Amino acid sequence: MPKLQIDAEVNGRKISREADPHARLLDFLRDELNLTGTKEGCGAGECGTCSVFVDGKLVKSCLMPVAKVSGSRIETIEGLAKPGDLTPVQRAFHKTGASQCGYCIPGMVMAATSALRENPQADIEEIKERLGGNICRCTGYTKIFEAVEIAKAVIAGDMPETALEEDSVEDSYIGANVRRIDAPSKVSGRLKYAADMKMPDMLQMQVLRSPHAHARIVSIDTSAAEAMDGVACVITADDVPGKDGFGVFVHDQPIMARGKVRHVGEAVAAVAAEDLVTARRALAMIRVEYEELPGLYDPADALKPGAPVIHDYAPDNLVKHIPVRKGDTQKGFAEADLILEDDFGTQQVEHAYLEPEAGIAYVDPDDVVVVISPSQNITHHRHMLAEIIAKPINKVRFIMSPVGGGFGGKEDMIYQGMLALCAMKTHRPVQLNFTREESLIASAKRHPSRVHYKMGLKWSGQITAIEFDMLSDGGAYGMSSEGVMRKAAILSCGPYEVENLSVDTRGVYTNNTPSGAFRTFGGMQAQFATESMMDMAAEALDMDPFEIRRINMMKIGSSTHTQQTLETASLDRVLEAAEIASRWEKGAPRVRGAERGDLNGPDTRKPCTLGARIKNAAKDDAKTTERVA
C-alpha cells in the first residue's frame, strides 16, 4: 500500500505525516496526531462526536477520507482555546451542566461553535437545527441548548462575561446550580476515555461473533489466522485457564462461546494483532463449523413443555421467578365493584451510550493482570475474572476509565475477559474498541416484557386487589435478569397501597440478545402497566386521574407490596407539584372535548421543526424588500 503524504495545518500548527490511503480524517487525528478529543461514536456519520472544522466548515471526520484534507486548515476541539483557557461556548457548557458523561461533548461544542460562527444571531430553533447532526444520550439536550444561548448572548455582548461564571451558592447546595468538577476536562476534549488511551507496543484486538442464534460449535480452526504476519495471538474458550462463567447474578456466560452459541453476536474467538486492519483480516481466516439448533425467540415459547433447552442448568428455561403475595386477592376481587383486565407489552431498548465499549488489558511486571475499561461494576468484575483466569484476587486489577454513558449497559463483563486472556497470552498491552454495530449486537438490552393485569376497584376509586403477572425476555444469558425481575416485582403495583395483591415476575432464557440492566431496572416496564391501568380506571370510574391516585397513594404508615411499613411518604407532594407544574385541567378524562386546555403551555418543549434558517432569512429579506400584495 503506497502511503499518502498529508501536509496540513492543524490547530494553527503545520504538520506533515504519512497516512494509509484508506485512513479517515478521524483515524489520522486520533492515531497520528493524538488529538483524541475528537471521538468515534458510530463511525457512520450518525452521532456527530467526530465533528471538526476543515477550512472553516464543520464536517464529520469519520466520513472524510484523510486524503481530502491535504493542504487544508483543520481545527479540532483542542484548538478552540489556548491551553488552560476555555472559549465562551466551552465555559457555558461548564456553567449549565451540559456535559454529563462527556463523550458527545467535544462534538457538541464544535457544532455549537459552528452554529454561532455561521449565524451569531441564530434563534433557538435555528440553534436546534444546526445541532441536529449531534446526538446526546444523557441530557435530553435542554442544558446544551441553554449553554449555547448563554454563549451566544455573551459573545454578542448582550450578557456580561460574568454570566459564564458559577452561580453563587448561599445557605445550601441543595437546589443550587453547582458546576461539575469534571466538566472542563470534557468540554476541552482532554479527558481520556478507554479508546483514547495508548500504550507502547499495544496490540489491537477484534472479535469473531456468531452469525447464528443457537448452534453447536463443531470445530474452530484458527491456524490460518495464527499463521498470518502481524497476528500476535488468537483465543477461544479453550484458552480460559480457570472456571469460566460470569454474570451479575448467575455465572452462566462464558468469556467466549463454549460448545455452543446462544445468540447472534456472541463472541466465538478473538484476534490480537499489530494493527486493526490485520486483526480484521485475521478474523476472516478463522473457520468455525456450526450445527444449527432449534431456537427460542418468544419468551412464551420458552416455558412450553418440550421447548429447546438453552442452558443445561435450567431445563425449564427459567432465569428467575419472583412471587409476591399480600392479603387475599380472591376476597379483594369479591369486594370489588369493577374489575379491569388488560395486557401491556414493552419492547427491547438499546442504551446507545455515545461511547462504544472499549478497553485495554496488560500484565504488569508483578504478573498482575490489569484491565482498564468503562465498567460499571469493577469490583464484581475483578472477583469474577480472578476465578476465570485462575489467579488470586491480588493478581487481578480493574481500573475504571471514564464512562461515556452506561445507563446499566456497561455492567456486564462481555469483553474484559477476552482482553485479559490476550494480554496473558502475549504479555503485551491489548486494546479492543467496539464498533457501534458491535455494541448494538453484543451488549445487553432493556427486557422486553408482557404484563397481564387484573385490578379490582370500588366505585369510590379504591383498589381492592391486583393480580400482576409479568413475563420478560431475558435473552441468551442471565446478566442482571434476576435483579430486574426482583425490582419489577417490588415496584409492580406502583406507589399505591393495595391490601390484596398477587405479583409474579418471570425472566426466561431465549436466543435473543441478552437483556440486562437499564435505567429503572424493571421499574419502567411495571410502571407502564400500572399507570396505564390507573388512567383506564379513572376513565371507567369517571374520576380525575389525579384524584384516583390520591385515593390510593401510599402514606406514612402504609404497608408496601412487600409489607414494609413506611415511615416517610411524599407522593402527596409529588402529585401536587406535578398537578401545578402541568397546569392540569381538572376532571375525568371524558369531560374534555377534542382539545385540552393544559397542553403546550410554558416550559413545554416544542417539537423541532426544520427550516428555521430559511424562514429567518426570508424574514430578513422581507424587512428590506417591499412586498407586492
Partner 1 sequence: MLTCDNYHLPTNLPEALAIWSNAKTGSRLVSGATDILPWAREGRAGDVHLPELIDVTRIAELNGYSFENGRVRLGANTVYQDFLTDQTLMRSLPCMPFCAIWFADDQIREQASVTGNLVNASPVADGTPAVVALNGEIELTRLHDGSVVSRQVPVVDFIEGPGKTQIAGDEIATAVILDTANGYGGSFQKVGQRRSLVISVACSAALVKADRDGRVFEDVRLALGGVGPRPIRMSEAESVLRGERISHALIERAAQTAADTVGSRSRKEYRREVVVNFVRAALEDALANQPEVQVDFADAKEKTHA
| H helix intervals, 409-500 | 416-426, 436-442, 481-491
Is residue 441 a contact partner of residue 471, using CB atoms and an 8 Å limit? Answer: no
Please list every residue from 61 through 80 that binds partner 1, using CB under 8 A: 62-65, 67-68, 70
Q: What torsion do the CA atoms of 469, 473, 479, 483 make, to the nearest 10 degrees? A: -10
| H helix intervals, 171-286 | 183-187, 223-227, 276-283
Binding mask 5-44 for partner 1 (x = CB under 8 A): ---------------xxx-x------------------xx
The span from the CA of 472 to the CA of 221, in Å, is: 37
Q: How many CA atoms lie within 13 A of 163 on its CB side?
A: 19
Is residue 104 a contact partner of residue 186, using CB atoms and an 8 Å limit? Answer: no
Q: Indicate if the alpha-carbon torsion angle 265, 267, 273, 278 is positive or negative.
A: negative
352 vs 385, beta carbon nearer partner 1: 352
* Of 49, 51, 431, 513, the one binding partner 1 by CB under 8 A: 51
**Interaction of residue 2 with partner 1, rule CB under 8 A:** yes
Binding mask 101-140 for partner 1 (x = CB under 8 A): ----------x--x--------------xx-xx-------
- Cβ 166 to partner 1 shortest distance, Å: 31
Please list every residue from 146 through 165 that binds partner 1, using CB under 8 A: none
**C-alpha 624 chain-centroid distance:** 49
**Interaction of residue 578 with partner 1, rule CB under 8 A:** no
Strand, coil or helix: 406: coil
* Of 280, 555, 583, 586, the one binding partner 1 by CB under 8 A: 280
**Interaction of residue 57 with partner 1, rule CB under 8 A:** yes
The b/e string for 461-495 (b: 16+ C-beta within 10 A; e otherwise) is: bbbbbbbbbbbbbbbbbbbbbbbbbbbbbbbbbbb
* Of 9, 32, 46, 123, the one binding partner 1 by CB under 8 A: 46
Residue 65 has a CB neighbour count (10 Å cut-off) of: 15
**C-alpha 600 chain-centroid distance:** 29
14 vs 627, beta carbon nearer partner 1: 627
364 vs 620, beta carbon nearer partner 1: 620
Binding mask 408-437 for partner 1 (x = CB under 8 A): ---------------------------x-x
**Interaction of residue 438 with partner 1, rule CB under 8 A:** yes
In the block, cell 434558517 appears at 613
160 vs 211, beta carbon nearer partner 1: 211
Piece of 352-360, 482-490, 504-512, 612-620 that binds partner 1 (CB under 8 A): 612-620
Size of the site for partner 1 (CB under 8 A): 49
Q: Enumerate binding residues for partner 1 (CB under 8 A).
A: 1-2, 4, 20-22, 24, 43-46, 48, 51, 57-60, 62-65, 67-68, 70, 111, 114, 129-130, 132-133, 276-277, 280-281, 284, 435, 437-438, 441, 608-611, 613-614, 617, 627-629
